[in-house]
Structure 1
Amino acid sequence: MNRIVPIEPPIAHAAHRWVEETRTLHYDYAGRPLLSLIIPAGIVPYYRQFSNGNLQSNPFTQQVYLSLDKPATIKAVFRMSKEALNMRPHRAGKDQAILGQVGRPLLDSVNGLYDVLQDLLIDWHGAKWNWTGSSLKTDNEGGLQAELEVQGGLTPWIVNLRMQYYRTHLNFREHRPWEWRPKLQPISGWSSWEAFGQGVTAEDVERTTAFLDVHFKPYGLEYVQIDDGYQTEVIPPEEKGRLADAWLRTNERFPEGQEGIVGSIRERGFEAGIWTSAMVTSKAFAERHREAFEIGPDGELLYGQWIYYVLKGEEEALAKHVVPFYRGLGESGYRYFKTDQIRHYLFDGLHQLVNEGVMSNEEAAARLREYMRKAREAIGEQAYFLACWGVLTEAVGLVDACRIAGDSNPSWTAVCKQIVESARWFHTQRILYLNDPDYVCARTEEAWGRSLLSLVSLSGGLLMLSDNPELYDEGRVYTIQRCLPSLSTATGETGPLDVSYPLDLTLPSAETGIGAAAGDEQANRAYALLGLTADSREPHPTASLWSFHFDTPAGRWCVAGRFAVVPLQETELALEALALAPDVAYHAFDFWKQRYMGKVARAISMEELPLGHCQIIGLRRDTGRPQLVGSSRHVSMDAISVREECWEAEKWRLEVAGVRGTTESYWLAVPDGFRYEGGSAAGGTITGVQAMEDGILKADIRFDEADVSIVFDFENQILL
C-alpha cells in the first residue's frame, strides 16, 4: 500500500526550540515544523520545558502554554499537511449551529485545526485571538498554513495537541489516513429499493433511467443503483453451485442478465451501481460447504437474524465464496457497490460465538474486517464502496461511505431520523468516509422532502433518490433539481458522539407517522420523538440549526439552515451562533422563498417553522459595491453554477455554468450611489433585469450554452 505521508505520525510530543535571532518559539512534530510563536522584542516569554506538557499517554494529549511578562500581541503560525481544516474542537452546543465547510475557510471564533493526514487535532484557549487571513493557505512545501494573532499576557495561552485523534481519542482504531483515504467526491444518484422493492424489473429500470436522463442528469445526478430484487430468490440458488451464482445470475425479471442492466444504465450516460448482501439463505448449500461456515457450540450451523448462515471471515472461505461475485460484478461494469446486512454478519452472527465464549471480540471484528477487505480488493480501488448499515468502526479505512441511519421511508419518523442521525454523525463526514443517511424519498410530504433534500445536499451526504418517478409532480422535480448535486462538504466540528437523545426514532402511530397528529398533539409527539418535552422548548434543539461555510473561486459566504425537527418558534439568531463575525454587515437571502431579507449584523430574524419545514438563508459579507447575494440554481447559493465573480473598472462580471435551455435568476445588491447601465451575456441571454426593493437587482439568464459570461456596467455616482 502506498503511503500518503512518509511515516506514521508518532504518538509522541512536539519538541520545542527557541531561536533568539528571530525571537520565535518553534514546536516540531513528526520531523517538520508545526507551530511557530513569534514574540515581540522586550517581552519575556514563559513556556514549558521538555516533554512535561504531556497530560496523558494513551490516548496522547500534549499541552503547550505560553505566558508573557506583560501584555503583547504574538503571532502564531500553524503548518500542516495538504489536507487540513479549521475545526471546532467540540460538537455544537446549545444555541450553536452544526458547522460544515466547502473549501478551506477560516471561521470566526472556531478555535481548532485538524490535520487530516496526520490525524492531529489542535485547539487553543485562554486569550483573545483572531485570524490574520480568511483561508488556509498553501505554503512553499505544498502543505497548508494558518496564521493568527494572540493577545498574550500573564494568563497562559494554552494549545492542546491530540495526536492520532480519531484513531485513539475517538477509538476509530482502523483510521490510518497516512496510508489510505476514501473517495471524497460528492455522490448523487437513484436507487430502485424504495421505488419498486423486491419486485423491480428491467422495464422499471429502463423507464426510470429515461426519466432521470431528462430531468436530473443535467443537474448532476450520476449513479443508478439496482437494489434487492434482481438476484435469485434463494442465495445461492443451487446446493452444488457457487455463492456467486446468486449475484451474477439474474432472475426472470431481468432476462438480459447483469450485462443488460449495466448496458441500459450506461446507455443513458449513468454509472451503474449494485446492491449485494452478506447473507446466505440456503441451508443445503451451507451444509454442503460446512468447512466455510461458522458452527455453533451445539455443532449446528450458526444462524443469525437477517444474516441466516454465517460465512467464515477467513482467507480460504472468502476467496472461494465472496471474492468471485464481487469480481464478477466489477467485470460486468458496476462501479458503485453497496454491501448490505454487513452489520448483521457481526452483531447477529459472529457475536453469538463471542457470547458463547468460542470467539473473542477481537476475532469477530477481524473477521468482519477481512470480509470487507476481500470485497474491496475484488472490486478495486477505483470502484465506490458503501457499507450498509450502521456505523461500523471495522469498516473504516476500507469503505468510501457508511450508512449512518436506519431504513428510510416517506413517514415523518423516518425523515426525522435521517436529519437527526446526519447531525449525530457529522463529525465523521469526509474524515472517516462519506455519510449516507439512506435514500431520500421525495414523494413524502413536500415540505419534509424539501428539508431532507436541502440538508443532505448542503451537508454533502450521499444523496440517493428512491422513488417511482411517476409520483413526482412539477414541484418535487423542481426541488430535487435545486438540490443536485450534493456538495463536497466536510465537517467543521469534532468531538465524542452525543448519546443524549434516542437512536431509534419510532412511535406507535399511523402510517404517515407524526403527520397523522394535529395541533398541540403533533408538537408534543415531535418533542417526544427526540426525547424532549414540550415544556423544555428551545429555539434550536438537536439537529435543527446548521451553518455551512463556503470558500471557493466564486468567493466566501455562509448558508444557514434551520430544520424543524420540532416546530420552531420565531427567534433572533445571533450571527456568532453561525461562526460569523458579529460586527460585520451581511446580505441575507432566503433561498426557498427567493427573496432578499436585507442587511443584517449581530443577529438575524428567523421565522416560525411548522414541523418538517426548513429555512435556508445565504449570508454574504457586504462589500460596499454591486455583488451577488442569491441565485435560483442551487440551495448552496451558489457553489454549483457560479464559477467566478469579480468587480473591476465599474463592471460586475459573473462566470456561470448551467443547464442548456433553462433560465436561472441571480440577485445583486446595488448600494446607493451605483446605477445599472446595462449588461451582456456571452453564451446566454439576459431575458430580464428587474429593480426590486432595498437596492436589489434581479437578473434572469437563459443558458444558450453550458457556460455563460455575464457583464453588467454600473456608473459609480459617488466618484462623479
Structure 2
Amino acid sequence: MPGGPQNTPAKLNIGDDKKSVTLQYGDAIIFEGAFDNPVQTVTKESGDQVIEQRIQLNFERETTVHAFVYGSSEALAAETWGDAQEKLALVRTSHGLSNNLRNNAIYDRNLDWMLELPPGTVIRSSRNPNGTTQFELTFTAKSAELVFRPRYYQKHRNLPHFQPWTYTIYKESITGWCSWWAYFRKFTEEDHLELLEMWQKKNMADYGYRFIQIDDVYQGENDRERKNCAQANGYLGGRPTTWLDWKKDLFPSGLTGYVTSTHQAGFDPAVWMGCFFSDEETVQEHPDWFVHDESGKPAAAPWVSYVLDATNPEVVEALIRPVFKGLKNAGIEYVKIDQLRHYLYDNLHNNIEWCREKGIAPDEVLRAYLRIAREELGDDTFILSCWGVLPESIGLADACRIGGDGYGPVTLQQYNSWNGIVWRNDPDHCDVSPNKKGKDIGNVKDLEAREALERETIIRPALASIAGAMLMLSDKPEVYEDDSRIYGLRRSSPVLFSVPGQLYDFDPGKTDWLRNNKRTDITTGKHPTPIDGDQFGEVCTYWLNEFNTGFENWNVLHRLNWSERNQKSLEPVVLKFADLGLDSSKEYLLYEFWRDKMYGVLKGDFALGELEPYGLESLAIREKLDHPQLVSTNRHLSQGAAEIEKLLWEENSLKGRSRVVIDDEYVITIYVPKAYLLQSAVINGQQARTEQKGEVLKVSYQPAKTSSVQWEVSFKTTNE
C-alpha cells in the first residue's frame, strides 16, 4: 500500500429490509450489524483533510444490537475520553486483546482508522485463525451513533509522518544499562569490564536485561573538549572517524573490543552518538555540505553546531553513511542518536530561508538523515531518537526519549497513547542509587528518608515496566552488589510489550498545541515546548495492565504514590471494580505483589490502606473460578505474564511451565477453595515445598539453573 489507506469516509450500505448495516473502508467490510427492527440512518461528514463521519442509527423502538467490527492483526479495543476517566483517572495498557468494559472504540493501526461506538457498548475481542481480529459488539438503544475517523493518528492527532503501513513497532523488551548518569564523561574500558563482571554475577541477562549502552565519552579526535565559542557551542569533530576510532587512552581495545567483551558477557552492545558537526576544517573545505544562515555561510547553533545537509549526496556518502555502516559492521545493535532536537529546531528552523531556497522542509532534512541511518543499520538494529517529543522521527526511529535529561515519569503517562502504536517511549535513564540529589541510601541517617529512597529502587524501574517503556539503568557496579537494592530491578524486567487502552493523551491540555498547530512554528529546541509537558510532578495514582495471554486473562492494578511536589502518604481508599472496567457482578481474587498479601475473595469493591511516599502496590485481579487457580507468582510484577509459558486446569491438577532464574526462589501462589485438598506438588520432577494458610497455598522451588520447568499441583475433592 504505497500511498496508504484512503482519507475518505466509510461507505454505508443498508440492507433491502433496512434491518442490516455495513460500513466498508477501502476493500474491506469493517462493521456489520443486523437488527430486529428497521433502522433509519442519518450521516454527517465534516472536515476536509481531517474527516469525521457520524452515522446516526434510529430504530422504531429500543433494540438490543449485536454487531461485529473486523480489523487486522493490529486492531485493538480501547476507550476515548469520557465519564469513566473523569470518575477514576487511570493509565491503561493491554497485553494481548482487551475486553475491558471501559472500551468504547476500535482502532486499527494497520490502516490508522478509529470507530467510536455508542456509550454502554460491550466489546468482546477475539483473534481469528488467520491472525485478524474480530470484535463482537452489544448495546441497547433506540438511537445510537457510530463515529468513523480515517487516518486517526495522522490527521486527528496531527502526526503527518505517521504511516504505520510502512513500518512495524519494535516489540522486544528494551532493557539494559547506560553509562551516562553513573559516570558522565569519566567512563573507561576498565569501568565497562567491571560492570559486565557485576552483571554476570547478578545474572542480569537471565532477568531480561539486554543492552549495555556506552554514552558520551568514547568518541575520538579530542571530541571531549567543548568549544569555547558562543557561535558554535558544540562538540569538536563529527567525521566518521569520530564515532569509529575510539579514544585509546580510555578504551584501549576500541570499538571492536567493546563489542566483543559485551557479547562474551551475554549482553548486546549499544552506543550513544550525536548528529552534531564542528570540524572547522571540513566546513571551510566544503561549505556547501552544510545548512547556511542569512549571510550565505554555514550556520552554527547551540549544541549541534553545524548541520549536515542530509539531502546532498556528497554529504551522505562522505559523512553520514560511513558512520552507520561502520557501527553496523562492528556489531552494534542499538544506536541512540542525540541532539536531533537541536539539529531541527536550533539550526534548521532558524534558517528557514535556506530551506526555502532548497525547496525542502526542515523536517525532511532530518528525516533524510534518519533514513540513511535506518538503511545502513537495518530493521533489526534498535534506533532511539533524542531528545524531547520528535514526531518528525516517526517511522524511522524505534523509540523516542520523550523528555529532557533525567527519569521523567510524567512523560510516560502523558504519551501512553503513543507507546506501542507510534513508537516506544523512553523516560531516560533509571538510576537506583545514588539518587538525583547525590545521596547514597546507606549514608542517609533519617529513617523515613532512607525508607523513601529504598522504595524508589522499586517504583522507578517498576513504573517503566508498567508503562511498557524502555528501562535503561545507570548506576555504578557497586550499587548492584546489594541484592536488596536490585529487587525492584529484577521484578520489573523484562518489559512486556503493550498497546494503550486509551486513544487520548492523559492531559489533553498539554498536547492540544500539537493537535492544533504546526510543529514548524517552533524556533528553538533549547527548552521543552508545550507538547513536551512537564517531565516531573504529579504522576497518576492508578495504572491498569490487562493481560490476555492465551492461557489466562487477568488485570494488575498498580497504585503508586509518586509526586515530586507533595510527598505525603495517600489516604485509604475504596475502589469499585466497575470503575476499573470490570464486571461488578463477578467475584474476584485480589493479591498484592510487593507485600505478598492476599486480600481475599471480593465483589463490588475493595479497600486499600494508606500508601507511603514512593510506595507502590501491584494488585493482581483474577476472576474467581470454581476450582484451585493461580493467584500470583513472585517472578515479575505482572504476576505470571513474564515467565509462565503454559497453564491449564486438568484432571483436578493445576499444570504449568515457567521460565525460572538461577538461585532465585520461585513461588507460585494458588487459591484453594474449601472443597479441595492438596495432594501433591511437583516441580521439575521433584517434590516441591508447600505451605498453606487457609485457602492460600504457596508452592516454592529453588532453581539450580536458568531454564523452563514443568510443574503440577494436584488436588482431591472433599465431601463438603
**Pairwise TM-score range, normalised by the shorter structure:** 0.7 to 0.9
3-state SS of paired residue (2:257): helix
Alignment of 1:150-169 (within 5 A): 150-153=139-142, 156-169=143-156
Q: Distance in 2 between matches of 1:291 and 1:14?
A: 49
RMSD: 2.7
Cα 1:241–1:170 change in 2 (3 A) is closer
Q: Report the counterpart of residue 635 of structure 1 in structure 2.
A: 637
Contact 1:211 1:469 (C-alpha < 8 Å) held by counterparts: yes
Contact 1:310 1:345 (C-alpha < 8 Å) held by counterparts: yes
Q: Distance in 1 between matches of 2:679 and 2:257?
A: 57
Contact 1:685 1:704 (C-alpha < 8 Å) held by counterparts: no
Q: Report the counterpart of residue 184 of structure 1 in structure 2.
A: 171
Contact 1:184 1:433 (C-alpha < 8 Å) held by counterparts: no
Deviations 1:469-520 (A, max 9, x none): 21232212222111111111111111257364799xxxxxxxxxxxxxxxxx
Q: Report the counterpart of residue 536 of structure 1 in structure 2.
A: none
TM-score by length of 1: 0.87
Cα 1:241–1:184 change in 2 (3 A) is closer
Deviations 1:352-386 (A, max 9, x none): 11389967996211111111111111211221111
Contact 1:627 1:670 (C-alpha < 8 Å) held by counterparts: yes
Q: 2:459 aligns with which of 451, 458, 461?
A: 451
Q: 1:219 aligns with which of 195, 203, 207?
A: 207
Contact 1:234 1:282 (C-alpha < 8 Å) held by counterparts: no
1:25 paired with 2:21, answer: yes
Equivalent position amino acid for 2:429 in 1: Y
1:47 paired with 2:45, answer: no
Cα 1:683–1:486 change in 2 (3 A) is farther
Deviations 1:567-606 (A, max 9, x none): 3222112223322222222111111111111122222222
Q: Distance in 2 between matches of 1:478 and 1:452?
A: 12
Q: Distance in 1 between matches of 2:158 and 2:582?
A: 32
Q: Distance in 1 between matches of 2:74 and 2:511?
A: 34
1:701 paired with 2:714, answer: no
Equivalent position amino acid for 1:124 in 2: L
Q: Report the counterpart of residue 433 of structure 1 in structure 2.
A: 423
Q: Report the counterpart of residue 446 of structure 2 in structure 1.
A: none
Deviations 1:586-645 (A, max 9, x none): 111111111111122222222322322221111111112111111110011121121222
Q: Report the counterpart of residue 525 of structure 1 in structure 2.
A: none
What's the % identity of the aligned pairs?
Answer: 25
Cα 1:652–1:240 change in 2 (3 A) is closer
1:492 paired with 2:463, answer: no
How far off its partner does 1:69 sit? 0.6
Q: Report the counterpart of residue 472 of structure 2 in structure 1.
A: 464
Alignment of 1:334-353 (within 5 A): 334-353=332-351
Q: Report the counterpart of residue 521 of structure 1 in structure 2.
A: none
Q: Distance in 2 between matches of 1:634 and 1:427?
A: 24
Equivalent position amino acid for 1:218 in 2: D
3-state SS of paired residue (1:467): coil
Q: Distance in 2 between matches of 1:635 and 1:244?
A: 43
Q: Distance in 2 between matches of 1:294 and 1:347?
A: 13
1:385 paired with 2:393, answer: no
Equivalent position amino acid for 1:99 in 2: R
Q: Report the counterpart of residue 516 of structure 2 in structure 1.
A: none
How far off its partner does 1:406 sit? 1.7
1:483 paired with 2:492, answer: yes
Q: Report the counterpart of residue 547 of structure 1 in structure 2.
A: 544
Higher alpha-carbon deviation: 199-208 or 564-573: 564-573
Q: 2:265 aligns with which of 257, 264, 268?
A: 268
Q: Distance in 2 between matches of 1:373 and 1:347?
A: 19
Cα 1:624–1:22 change in 2 (3 A) is farther
How far off its partner does 1:66 sit? 1.5
Alignment of 1:126-205 (within 5 A): 126=119, 128-131=120-123, 133=124, 135-138=125-128, 142-153=131-142, 156-205=143-192
Equivalent position amino acid for 2:34 in 1: I
Contact 1:626 1:668 (C-alpha < 8 Å) held by counterparts: yes
Contact 1:646 1:653 (C-alpha < 8 Å) held by counterparts: yes
Q: Distance in 1 between matches of 2:101 and 2:39?
A: 27
Higher alpha-carbon deviation: 264-273 or 283-292: 283-292
Q: Distance in 2 between matches of 1:200 and 1:422?
A: 29
Q: Distance in 2 between matches of 1:556 and 1:66?
A: 33
Q: Distance in 1 between matches of 2:360 and 2:158?
A: 14
Q: Distance in 2 between matches of 1:617 and 1:188?
A: 24
Cα 1:241–1:462 change in 2 (3 A) is closer
Q: Report the counterpart of residue 217 of structure 2 in structure 1.
A: 229
Q: Report the counterpart of residue 674 of structure 2 in structure 1.
A: 672
How far off its partner does 1:286 sit? 2.3
3-state SS of paired residue (2:485): helix
3-state SS of paired residue (2:193): helix
Contact 1:236 1:242 (C-alpha < 8 Å) held by counterparts: no
Q: Report the counterpart of residue 13 of structure 1 in structure 2.
A: 9
Deviations 1:26-67 (A, max 9, x none): 111111111011112xx121223xxx4313332111112222
Q: 1:100 aligns with which of 62, 68, 93?
A: 93
Q: Report the counterpart of residue 611 of structure 2 in structure 1.
A: 609
Deviations 1:422-474 (A, max 9, x none): 00011100101111111110213221231121111122111111111212322
Contact 1:235 1:243 (C-alpha < 8 Å) held by counterparts: no
3-state SS of paired residue (2:555): strand
Equivalent position amino acid for 2:59 in 1: L
Aligned pair count reads: 661
Equivalent position amino acid for 2:146 in 1: V
Cα 1:600–1:419 change in 2 (3 A) is farther
Higher alpha-carbon deviation: 31-40 or 55-64: 55-64
3-state SS of paired residue (1:476): coil
3-state SS of paired residue (1:167): helix
Equivalent position amino acid for 2:606 in 1: I
Contact 1:654 1:709 (C-alpha < 8 Å) held by counterparts: yes
Contact 2:104 2:121 (C-alpha < 8 Å) held by counterparts: no
Mark the runs of 5 or more structure 1 residues left unpaired by the alignment.
Answer: 409-414, 504-528, 533-540
How far off its partner does 1:669 sit? 0.9
Equivalent position amino acid for 1:152 in 2: A
3-state SS of paired residue (2:361): helix
Q: Report the counterpart of residue 125 of structure 1 in structure 2.
A: 118
Q: Distance in 2 between matches of 1:530 and 1:265?
A: 32
Q: 1:333 aligns with which of 322, 331, 334?
A: 331
Q: 1:423 aligns with which of 392, 413, 422?
A: 413
Q: Distance in 2 between matches of 1:173 and 1:275?
A: 27
Equivalent position amino acid for 1:611 in 2: P
Cα 1:146–1:320 change in 2 (3 A) is same
Q: Report the counterpart of residue 228 of structure 2 in structure 1.
A: none
Equivalent position amino acid for 2:95 in 1: V
Q: Report the counterpart of residue 283 of structure 1 in structure 2.
A: 280
3-state SS of paired residue (2:545): strand
Q: Report the counterpart of residue 580 of structure 1 in structure 2.
A: 582
How far off its partner does 1:299 sit? 4.2
Deviations 1:220-263 (A, max 9, x none): 111111111111254599x9998101101000211121111100
TM-score by length of 2: 0.87
Equivalent position amino acid for 1:45 in 2: V
Q: Report the counterpart of residue 84 of structure 1 in structure 2.
A: 75
Contact 1:684 1:701 (C-alpha < 8 Å) held by counterparts: no
Cα 1:684–1:83 change in 2 (3 A) is farther
Cα 1:357–1:247 change in 2 (3 A) is closer
Q: Report the counterpart of residue 448 of structure 2 in structure 1.
A: none
Q: Distance in 2 between matches of 1:350 and 1:692?
A: 67
Contact 1:626 1:670 (C-alpha < 8 Å) held by counterparts: yes
Q: Distance in 2 between matches of 1:23 and 1:502?
A: 42
Cα 1:375–1:531 change in 2 (3 A) is closer
Contact 2:237 2:277 (C-alpha < 8 Å) held by counterparts: no
Cα 1:241–1:665 change in 2 (3 A) is closer
How far off its partner does 1:684 sit? 5.6
Cα 1:359–1:555 change in 2 (3 A) is farther
Contact 2:681 2:699 (C-alpha < 8 Å) held by counterparts: no
Higher alpha-carbon deviation: 615-624 or 574-583: 574-583
Q: Distance in 1 between matches of 2:382 and 2:335?
A: 6
Higher alpha-carbon deviation: 420-429 or 343-352: 343-352
1:255 paired with 2:230, answer: no
Equivalent position amino acid for 1:29 in 2: Y
Contact 1:554 1:639 (C-alpha < 8 Å) held by counterparts: no
